[in-house]
Chain A
């Protein structure tokens, strides 16, 4: 064993003289090694690094004591606070949900007329409804509810199933053609008609919104026989079968000849998802009232 107080035994000291190179800038000695020109100083350990390490360690120990932290084989330490991530999430959700129950609970009441005329309540509720609409409905119906090809406009006064908020709420909750208990709306394929007959129908339907449709053309006759049951006499709709009025512009797929021909050839069965599992009943009522305000919002 060498004497530990012997300077020659110190790390990096010259084994013969015990001297080490001293850096002129900092005044510290070097460790004595030389790696192709690189040297390092033997600067003492900065106290602050040790303190910082201790502080962060202290923080960690406290955290470990309070929170779930260390595994113990088949289990883990739960921590003094007994926190559980899932329960905290449910509590947190319950807490934010509670903050809006004051006004939201009102919407569980199906008296839509009273709700709609309560300006204060509506002012509180509509921003929430707008966000719900934007995150869930706008993808299909557009952010202003103007619809698009295949998706009906909600900001006009034309309804497939009726525009009373009760009815709308039911449509939203059940959906259309989505599951066995949603609303059912099917436009059968009229592929069994002769092409010429279909063409006559197309001409008739295209003319309907322009108001130029004859009432005694072959197309009109075919229409009365085959279509009026669902679309109403003269295609005015309003029968609440899910069949749109064809006499105005408010259709789902379009009223040019090509779109109508496709409809007749292949039929249609638009799908609107049901929202009852995803949204709560109050939220759905809220949306039904929101949909009713869309026409005003529209430019």
Chain B
């Protein structure tokens, strides 16, 4: 980190690190329960680590001032990608472990932190926020600078955002291991972590706007619309869903202010739009940059981009109630959720179609370049999973699929097939450039990764479709005499082969991701000092 900072910036950084250490110390000292004390200690350790790192480098040679402004600030992106890959290992590892536990339940050691219920949110948070979030932040810096042709507005806030964000993820995940959770799906982290994330997010947003204000092209590129929607709406959702009253300022425990049916609606307004604005909007931003760059083609239709962007932003927010069909949520809200989900299909497919049509004229490259193929497959799975989503949102269909592994299959066709694939495509585009190389260190390994990922996804998703539909049918099937045909336990037993297959599919996917991590390490180690000529910011010229 310090090589990219000037001496003055290192001093500011040092001050912030001391502040973080003090915050951690205060938390650890005041805490009346284990989770908060451990989290204080983690913050303290992180703060101290940064103090040593920056303090030790205070008087090292600083980067030449004026020259720096003529380059993009890619050090944070590099760090973000490292964290993305680290969280991929953690999150997918936890995913495989919980998948295995369902096939092999005796495998749980008598140690609470390894039990299914505690590790499942470690998987979801670790993978969505750790893996997905770091990828979004890292690529957003990359994309923002290049589409604005301007360097990031300042050198410190990107680090504050990334380090602060990773502290949030660490707090969240270690909290669940210790049993500290708000139990709101995808928002399980406790109140102080929630607050911390708000602070980080405000800094992120400010940095984004400040950099955007320096852009060279008066128009803001579509990718940035999506990144902005991601940042803004996630902030809105996060704040409203997480409003909670702590039992004590010195303890981790809090109670959400929402109760019962209103809580359910707010939770899924959040939960669905975590999908929409975290797992979709942000990644569409990624797609809109890396696909044209890698394929060398212009975006197929600017007008279609407008339709899909506003369609997604406007429609998505209505559909959370499709998670609550036939529940105690009033019927009228379910109807709205269902109908908007169906309308949502149009902008969703418009963006998938726009991406695929962009490849017109570059199909040869798709065939030859595994990186571009990752992006193509991502767009296809994006189309598939949104179609599936709109289908599942129809009440009668949902009566079969809800509560079953069909939902899990849908989730992973979206997350493995779309989110993870587009991340890998972006990583394979960025990493060689970070290393000043034409290609990854082991180009063949990219090919291996691609096939492992596709195969793993298919095995996982097809197994879960079968599992879910079987389950749903077994729960509701009546025999000719009007009696339910199967007991619940029979449906549990029927899942065994699918749970095994899913674990195998997940293992393939993780193997691919591990190859990617090693490949990235090898590539970055084999960095050349070559500077890519035309990848530079333009002279600062405010656009607005």
* A positions within 8 Å CB-CB of B: 23, 25-26, 30-31, 33-46, 49, 52-53, 56-57, 59-60, 63-64, 67-71, 76-77, 79, 83-85, 89, 96-100, 103-104, 124-125, 127-128, 131, 134-135, 138, 143
Least CB distance from A91 to B in Å reads 14
Q: Which of B75-83, B115-123, B474-482 contacts A (4 or more CB under 8 A)?
A: B474-482
> Please, which residues of chain B bring their CB within 8 A of the CB of A143?
489
Instruction: Show 15 A/B contacts (Cβ-Cβ < 8 Å), sorted by A.
Output: A23-B298, A35-B149, A38-B298, A39-B298, A43-B304, A45-B303, A53-B311, A56-B345, A69-B335, A70-B336, A98-B482, A99-B478, A100-B483, A128-B483, A128-B484
Residue of B nearest to A61 (CB): B339
Tell me the number of A-to-B contacts counted with CB atoms below 8 Å. Answer: 158
> Please, which residues of chain B bring their CB within 8 A of the CB of A77?
332
> Please, which residues of chain B bring their CB within 8 A of the CB of A71?
332
Q: Which of B56-64, B153-161, B216-224, B418-426 contacts A (4 or more CB under 8 A)?
A: B216-224
Least CB distance from B91 to A in Å reads 31
- Cβ contact within 8 Å between A40 and B343: no
Residue of B nearest to A24 (CB): B361
Residue of B nearest to A72 (CB): B332
* Given A40-B298, A128-B481, A134-B489: A76 touches B330 (CB 8 Å cut-off): yes
Contact of B331 among A35, A45, A68 (CB under 8 A): A68
Contact of B307 among A49, A64, A70, A128 (CB under 8 A): A49
* Given A30-B298, A68-B330, A127-B481: A53 touches B346 (CB 8 Å cut-off): yes
A96–B485 alpha-carbon span in the complex (Å) = 13
A36–B311 alpha-carbon span in the complex (Å) = 27
Least CB distance from A116 to B in Å reads 18
For the complex of A and B, the 4 pairs showing the least CB-CB separation, nearest first, are: A128-B483, A100-B482, A134-B487, A25-B361
- Cβ contact within 8 Å between B331 and A84: yes
- B181 contacts partner chain A, Cβ-Cβ < 8 Å: no
- Cβ contact within 8 Å between A69 and B336: yes
Least CB distance from B337 to A in Å reads 10
> Please, which residues of chain A bring their CB within 8 A of the CB of B448?
none
> Please, which residues of chain B bring their CB within 8 A of the CB of A56?
342-343, 345-346
Least CB distance from A108 to B in Å reads 16
A281–B292 alpha-carbon span in the complex (Å) = 69
> Please, which residues of chain A bring their CB within 8 A of the CB of B478?
96, 99
State how many residues of chain B have any CB contact under 8 Å with chain A.
Answer: 55
A168–B336 alpha-carbon span in the complex (Å) = 51
- Cβ contact within 8 Å between A43 and B301: yes
> Please, which residues of chain B bring their CB within 8 A of the CB of A59?
339, 342
- Cβ contact within 8 Å between B304 and A45: yes
Least CB distance from A23 to B in Å reads 6
Least CB distance from A142 to B in Å reads 12
A44–B479 alpha-carbon span in the complex (Å) = 55
A143–B492 alpha-carbon span in the complex (Å) = 14
> Please, which residues of chain B bring their CB within 8 A of the CB of A134?
487, 489-490
A131–B481 alpha-carbon span in the complex (Å) = 13
A253–B163 alpha-carbon span in the complex (Å) = 59
- Cβ contact within 8 Å between A34 and B217: yes
Residue of A nearest to B215 (CB): A35
Least CB distance from B495 to A in Å reads 16
A77–B486 alpha-carbon span in the complex (Å) = 39
- B374 contacts partner chain A, Cβ-Cβ < 8 Å: no
> Please, which residues of chain B bring their CB within 8 A of the CB of A41?
298-302
A135–B490 alpha-carbon span in the complex (Å) = 10
Given contact pairs A45-B304, A128-B479, enumerate 5 new A-B contacts (beta carbons under 8 Å). Answer: A36-B147, A39-B292, A41-B298, A63-B339, A67-B332
- Cβ contact within 8 Å between A57 and B343: yes
* Given A42-B303, A45-B304, A49-B307: A36 touches B149 (CB 8 Å cut-off): yes
> Please, which residues of chain A bring their CB within 8 A of the CB of B311?
53
> Which residues 467-512 of B sit at the A interface, judged by CB distance below 8 A?
478-479, 481-490
Most buried by B among A52, A56, A127, A138: A56
Most buried by A among B289, B481, B489: B481
> Please, which residues of chain A bring their CB within 8 A of the CB of B331?
67-68, 83-85
Least CB distance from A29 to B in Å reads 10
> Which residues 313-338 of B sit at the A interface, judged by CB distance below 8 A?
326, 330-332, 334-336, 338
Least CB distance from A48 to B in Å reads 9
> Please, which residues of chain A bring their CB within 8 A of the CB of B210?
none
> Please, which residues of chain B bring their CB within 8 A of the CB of A64?
335, 339
> Please, which residues of chain B bring their CB within 8 A of the CB of A76?
330, 332
- Cβ contact within 8 Å between B342 and A70: no
- Cβ contact within 8 Å between A131 and B361: no
A84–B335 alpha-carbon span in the complex (Å) = 12
Residue of B nearest to A11 (CB): B302
A89–B292 alpha-carbon span in the complex (Å) = 51
Residue of A nearest to B147 (CB): A35
A138–B483 alpha-carbon span in the complex (Å) = 18
- B350 contacts partner chain A, Cβ-Cβ < 8 Å: yes
Contact of A35 among B217, B334, B342 (CB under 8 A): B217
- B305 contacts partner chain A, Cβ-Cβ < 8 Å: yes
> Please, which residues of chain B bring their CB within 8 A of the CB of A25?
297, 360-361
* Given A56-B343, A60-B339, A60-B340: A40 touches B301 (CB 8 Å cut-off): yes
> Please, which residues of chain A bring their CB within 8 A of the CB of B482?
96-100, 104, 128
- Cβ contact within 8 Å between B481 and A100: yes
Least CB distance from B477 to A in Å reads 11
> Please, which residues of chain A bring their CB within 8 A of the CB of B149?
35-36
Least CB distance from B141 to A in Å reads 14
* Given A33-B219, A96-B482, A100-B481: A60 touches B343 (CB 8 Å cut-off): yes
> Which residues 201-228 of B sit at the A interface, judged by CB distance below 8 A?
217, 219, 221-222
> Please, which residues of chain A bring their CB within 8 A of the CB of B147?
35-36, 38
Contact of A46 among B148, B304, B535 (CB under 8 A): B304
- B238 contacts partner chain A, Cβ-Cβ < 8 Å: no
Residue of A nearest to B302 (CB): A40
> Please, which residues of chain A bring their CB within 8 A of the CB of B481?
99-100, 103, 124-125, 127-128
A40–B220 alpha-carbon span in the complex (Å) = 12
- Cβ contact within 8 Å between A52 and B346: yes
A36–B481 alpha-carbon span in the complex (Å) = 69
- Cβ contact within 8 Å between A49 and B350: yes
- Cβ contact within 8 Å between A44 and B303: yes
- Cβ contact within 8 Å between A127 and B483: yes
> Please, which residues of chain A bring their CB within 8 A of the CB of B298?
23, 30, 38-41
- B146 contacts partner chain A, Cβ-Cβ < 8 Å: yes
Report B120-160 CB contacts with A as 1/0, cut-off 8 Å. 00000000000000000000000000111100000000000
